[in-house]
Amino acid sequence: MNIVWSDKTKAKVNKWLSAGLIQGVSEDWFGLNETITRAEFAKIVALSIRVEIDTTLKTSSFSDVKADDPIYGYALPFIEALRQAGVTDGIDVDRFNPSGEVTKEEFAIFLVRSQGKNAEAKQTQGVIDETISRYARGYVALALN
């Protein structure tokens, strides 16, 4: 892939590509300005924090995550691994929304929980930003720090 960024950014992206944490949209297009789905992000987080992933799973604890889904079925083991690790509990009791775009709040929550800092986030003075839900403000503040 031909990536035109700073040398530092290019080195990081190429490292993630080589490690299989991320992939481009196609062979010659990375898609830097594309959105990322919750399913895609779950895979990235699960691989980057090296949680145990059971690739033989065929059933999800989330009603909207199906192994036979032609677009997001690949993500089932990663999503379940993150649920078991306490990184995500979905958007509802039994829904994950694999096709949903990752929000800045969700990004911060996944990041903080994946580092084992959930309790710390709940005790952190949250950012003052009306675009961020109250429940996520401590996570966003901690992620920014």
User: Structural domain boundaries of the chain?
Assistant: 35-102, 103-145
Q: What is the mean pLDDT of the chain?
A: 88
pTM greater than 0.85 (yes/no)? no
pLDDT at 32: 66
Query: Please, what's the b/e burial string for 11-46 (b: 16 or more CB within 10 A of its CB; e: otherwise)?
Result: eebeeeeeeeebeeeeeeebeeeeeebbbbbbbbbb
Helix axis angle, 76-84 to 38-49, nearest 10°: 60
Express as a percent the part of the chain with pLDDT over 70.
89
* CA neighbor of 38 nearest in space, from 132, 110, 140, 127: 110
CA distance 41 to 47: 10
- Binned at pLDDT 50, 70 and 90, residue 120 comes out as very high
Asked if pLDDT for residue 37 goes beyond 70, the answer is yes
pLDDT, one tens digit per residue, over 93-111 is 899 999 999 999 999 999 9
Q: What is the mean pLDDT of residues 15-21?
A: 73
Contact 54, 21 (CB under 8 A): no
- Binned at pLDDT 50, 70 and 90, residue 3 comes out as very low
